[in-house]
Amino acid sequence: MSTLTDTDHGVRRPPWGWLAVGFGAWIAAYASLIPLADAVIAVLGLTRATHLGEAIHFFFYDTPKVLLLLTGIVFLMGVVHTFVAPERTRALLSGRRLGLGNVMAASLGIVTPFCSCSAVPLFIGFLSAGVPLGVTFSFLISAPMVNEIALALLFGLFGWKVAALYLALGLSVAIVAGLVIGRLGMERHLEDWVREMQATQSAAYESATPTWAERIDAGVAHVKEIVGKVWPWVLAGIAIGAGIHGYVPEDFMVSIMGRDAPWWSVPAAVLIGVPMYTNAAGIIPIVEALIGKGAALGTVLAFMMSVIALSLPEMVILRKVLKLPLILTFAGVVATGILVVGFVFNAVL
């Protein structure tokens, strides 16, 4: 193999042909979801009229559907990420005022690549470039909470309306929480070494503009990384959902998390969510099971947001840069936002 030409990024042509083939295959697969599920139960000699048939049909329809959606969206986001490096986001947000800055920060949080292990470098990088504290928080809340995996899974499992609502409400929580933290003027609760760093601007690293071939590579790499890690969770979630779909009647969940549950069910869901720490993919099986058992959507979404956005391990990491009062304020403001989301959702739907 002529490895030299294969790895020479300067001259490699983007694999547009493969991309077109992949896109065509994706469309074809998505279009044949129902025939496939029908075929599976036909081969097994079952009909959808039986519990077992219905459960198996649900499993073989939902699993490929969710995995297809996930692959498609994760690929697109992998490509989008190459356009919005954190350095670029920082440059866009630098010197912005509260208000518009928060809206931009929360929106950029969706498309900027983010991993919770780089939360702290990112946080300091933003502050040292003159991004206001409140705007930085809007980004830091939105980035993990409103991400493509959560949206893709909600879209696949519960439809686009639930996904859109999650998107809108997640953004609102990030924007409002950032605004509140900014208004409180809590800069003095940053750790001292962070404030010193804010004064001394360090030279930022600028990466070279990637080629289209590299952008597509990045999309493929993102799919391998995310879908490769997430698929067992998706499978488990849908299997649980299928079991419920076919058999379990709505039961005690309705009384403690359902629509007519006592008012404290939303705060309780948020509280239970804080010590739990998992990513969007890990929480989906639980969400699927809760909704399948008749829990109210607002309560479940509040629980999901709390698990993803408010986690003890992340607070421990942030403690390196924030003093305790600021951490508590951050947790309090975000928790309040999530509570409002839960209550509003339950009231409206």
Partner 1 sequence: MKNIKVLGPGCANCKNTHALIETVAKAKQIEIQLEKIEDLQAIMSYGVMSTPGVVIDGKVVHAGGVPPRAKVEGWF
By the criterion CB under 8 A, which residues form the site for partner 1? 6-7, 9, 85-87, 90, 113, 115, 117-118, 120-122, 124-126, 128, 193, 197, 202-205, 207, 217, 221, 320-321
Please state the three-class secondary structure of the chain as a single string: CCHHHHHCCCCCCCCHHHHHHHHHHHHHHHHCHHHHHHHHHHHCCCCCCCHHHHHHHHHHHHHHHHHHHHHHHHHHHHHHHCCCCHHHHHHHHCCCCCCHHHHHHHHHHHHCCCCHHHHHHHHHHHHHCCCCHHHHHHHHHHHHHCCHHHHHHHHHHHCHHHHHHHHHHHHHHHHHHHHHHHHCCCHHHECHHHHHHHHCCCCCCCCCCCCHHHHHHHHHHHHHHHHHHHHHHHHHHHHHHHHHHHCCCCCHHHHHHCCCCCCCHHHHHHHHHCCCCCCHHHHHHHHHHHHHCCCCHHHHHHHHHHHHHCCHHHHHHHCCCECHHHHHHHHHHHHHHHHHHHHHHHHHC
Please say which residue, 39 or 204, places its beta carbon nearer to partner 1.
204
CB of 151 to partner 1, least distance (A): 21
Smallest gap from Cβ 50 to partner 1, in A, equals 44
The least CB distance from residue 204 to partner 1, in Å, is 4
Q: Which is nearer to partner 1, 143 or 257 (CB)?
A: 143
Kindly tell me which of 76 and 256 has the beta carbon lying closer to partner 1: 76
Q: Considering the complex, what minimum distance in angstroms separates the CB of residue 70 from partner 1?
A: 19
Q: How far is the CB of 238 from partner 1 (least distance, A)?
A: 26
Q: Which is nearer to partner 1, 198 or 336 (CB)?
A: 198
Of residues 32 and 118, the one with the C-beta less far from partner 1: 118
